[in-house]
Amino acid sequence: MATPTKPSNVNGVDQPYYVPDQSKFPALASLGMGLMVFGLGSMLNDMKADVSSTVSSMMAVLGFAVLGTVLFNWFATQIRENHEGLPGPQLKRSYVLGMYWFIFSEVMFFAAFFGSLYYVRNFSVPWLAGEGDKGVSNMLWEGFQGSWPVISNPNPTLFTNPNESMAWRGFGEALHYLPLWNTILLLSSSVTVHIAHTALKSGNRKQLIGWLGATVLLGIVFLFLQVEEYAEAYSELGLTLNSGIYGSTFFLLTGFHGFHVTLGAFMLGVMWFRALRGHFKPEDHFGFEAASWYWHFVDVVWVGLFCFVYLL
């Protein structure tokens, strides 16, 4: 691929725009994406039909590999172009805007799940339990008590009851309450990443590397604890994806959050390597900033989760 160059002089006039040359990345990324989801879809359908086919999983893996490789090279190119000073300040503003709106779209994704949680807690579960405007529904589920968390499902043969929920267990248990630790971890990681940012802005690379590394570590510990929590849920509390609406909302909200933490930690990890390599300048470090915004976003979502999924 031809190295993108800056058409700094067109028709004899200087101009500030940078338009990249042709690129193979987008088409290949689409191919990877297409293969990946087609493979994943086939895998899920195979699983459901109780057959196994290597074609499906190979397709998914191949697609994932293509997509991953492309994205890696894409970002690498982006970074190289940046080193070469190709994007002007205007293009950098576009990146900033792009990141803002991307994060906003993620907020809306979580909003769908938070909204659903709100709905089931305030409408459908009470209705099924005989309260409110559609309380007659209870005639179909005699004996169903609608307290939140739902420990006893309307139909326990279809959706097995959990033994216990993840709700706050009182101050006596606080020390053993993993979500509380996770909150502390994530909140402090937001602080550390902020300190790293300040360090970067004042040109202190050592501190940057140290604090950023600490942030990534905190993220990893968070994930580790979450895995621990899930293991406990499955093996001891009997709380699974199949335990009715409480398990459904619990695992999807915390699961997608955990997935985003993974992404965020990965992004920060990449930034850490780039920091090691001396990529960032005090006045120009958009990659770092984007990752740290993302991290703050993930953190804010967690605070929401902690309140609405665990405490209230």
Partner 1 sequence: MLPSLSIKPTPAVHSGRLRTLAAGFALMFASPALLAEWGINMTEGVTALSAETFSLHMLIFWICVAIGVLVYGVLIYSMIAYRKSKGAVPATFNHNTTAEIIWTVIPFLILIGMAVPSTRVLTQIYDSSDSDLDIMVTGYQWRWQYRYLADDGAEVTFFSNLATPPEQYENYEGSLAAEKGENYLLEVDEPLVIPAGKKVRFLLTSADVIHSWWVPDFSVKKDAIPGFVNESWVRVEQPGLYRGQCTELCGRLHGFMPIVVEVKEQADFDAWYAERQAAAQRISDAATQTFTMEQLMAQGQTVYNTYCMACHQANGQGLPPAFPALTGSAIATGPAADHINIVLNGKQGTAMAAFGTQLSAVDIASVITFERNALGNSVGDMVQPVDIVQAQAQ
Partner 2 sequence: MATGHAEHHHGPATGFTRWLYTTNHKDIGSMYLWFSFAMFLLGGVFALVIRAELFQPGLQFVDPNFFNQMTTMHGLVMVFGAVMPAFVGLANWMIPMMIGAPDMALPRMNNWSFWILPFAFTMLASTLFMEGGAPNFGWTFYAPLSTTYAPASVTFFIFAVHIMGASSIMGSINIIATIQNLRAPGMTYMKMPLFVWTWLITAYLLIAVMPVLAGVVTMMLFDIHFGTSFFSAAGGGDPVLFQHVFWFFGHPEVYIMILPAFGVVSEIIPTFSRKKLFGYDSMVYATSSIAFLSFIVWAHHMFTTGMPLAGELFFMYATMLIAVPTGVKVFNWITTMFRGSISFETPMLFAIAFVVLFTCGGFTGLMLAIAPADFQYHDTYFVVAHFHYVLVPGAVFSIMAAAYYWLPKWTGNMYDETLGKVHFWLSFVGINVLFFPQHFLGLSGMPRRIPDYALQFADFNMISSVGAFLFGFSQLLFMFIVLKTVMGGKKATAQVWEGAEGLEWTLPSPAPYHTFSTPPTVK
Site residues for partner 1, 134-173, by CB under 8 A, read 134, 136-137, 139-141, 154, 158
Report the b/e string of 136-158 with b at 16+ CB within 10 A: ebbeebeebebebbbbebbeeee
Going by the DSSP 8-state scheme, the letter that residue 306 receives in this structure is I
For residue 254, CA distances in Å to 59, 117, 239 come to 29, 12, 13
Q: Which is nearer to partner 1, 20 or 130 (CB)?
A: 130
Residue 295 and residue 215 in contact, taking contact as beta carbons nearer than 8 Å: yes
CA-wise closest residue to 257 among 193, 204, 310, 312: 310
Q: CB under 5 to 8 A by kind: which of partner 1, partner 2, none does 136 bind?
A: partner 1
Q: Which of partner 2, partner 1, none does 104 bind, CB closer than 5 to 8 A by kind?
A: partner 2
Q: Which does 27 bind (CB under 5 to 8 A by kind): partner 2, partner 1, none?
A: partner 2
d(CA 124, CA 19): 52
**For residue 188, what are the contacts with CB-CB under 8 A and spacing of at least 6?**
218
| Interacting partner of 198 out of partner 2, partner 1, none (Cβ under 5 to 8 A depending on kind) | none
Q: How far apart are CA 105 and CA 229, in angstroms?
A: 28
Applying CB under 8 A, which part among 39-47, 132-140, 178-186, 194-202 lies near partner 1? 132-140
Cβ proximity to partner 2, 19 vs 175, nearer residue: 19
The minimum distance between CB 49 and partner 2, in angstroms, equals 7
User: How many residues sit in the footprint of partner 1 (CB under 8 A)?
Assistant: 11
CB of 20: closest distance to partner 2 in angstroms? 5
Residue 121, φ and ψ in degrees, nearest 5: -70, -40
User: Given the complex with partner 2, which of 132 and 213 has the nearer CB atom?
Assistant: 132
52 binds, among partner 2, partner 1, none (CB under 5 to 8 A by kind): none
Nearer to partner 1, 80 or 134 (CB): 134
| Residue 127 near partner 1 by CB under 8 A | yes
Instruction: Tell me the Cα Rg of the chain.
Output: 24
Query: Using CB distances below 5 to 8 A depending on partner kind, what does residue 218 bind out of partner 1, partner 2, none?
Result: none
Return the range that interacts with partner 1 (CB under 8 A); candidates 129-137, 182-190, 192-200, 262-270: 129-137
Distance of CA 306 to the CA centre of its chain: 16
Which listed option, partner 2, partner 1, none, makes contact with residue 139 (CB within 5 to 8 Å by class)? partner 1
* 35 touching partner 1, by CB under 8 A: no
Q: Output 120 or 208, the one with its CB closest to partner 1.
A: 120
Q: Which is nearer to partner 1, 16 or 41 (CB)?
A: 41
SS (H, E, C) 194-209: HHHHHHHHCCCHHHHH
Contacting partner 1 (CB under 8 A), which of 128, 150, 199, 301? 128
Give the 3-state secondary structure of 209-230.
HHHHHHHHHHHHHHHHHHHHHH
* Binding site partner of 54, from partner 1, partner 2, none, Cβ cut-off 5-8 A by kind: none
Q: Of all residues in the chain, what percent are helix, strand and coil, respectively (each to 5)? A: 70, 0, 25
Point out which residues bind partner 1 (CB under 8 A): 124, 127-128, 134, 136-137, 139-141, 154, 158
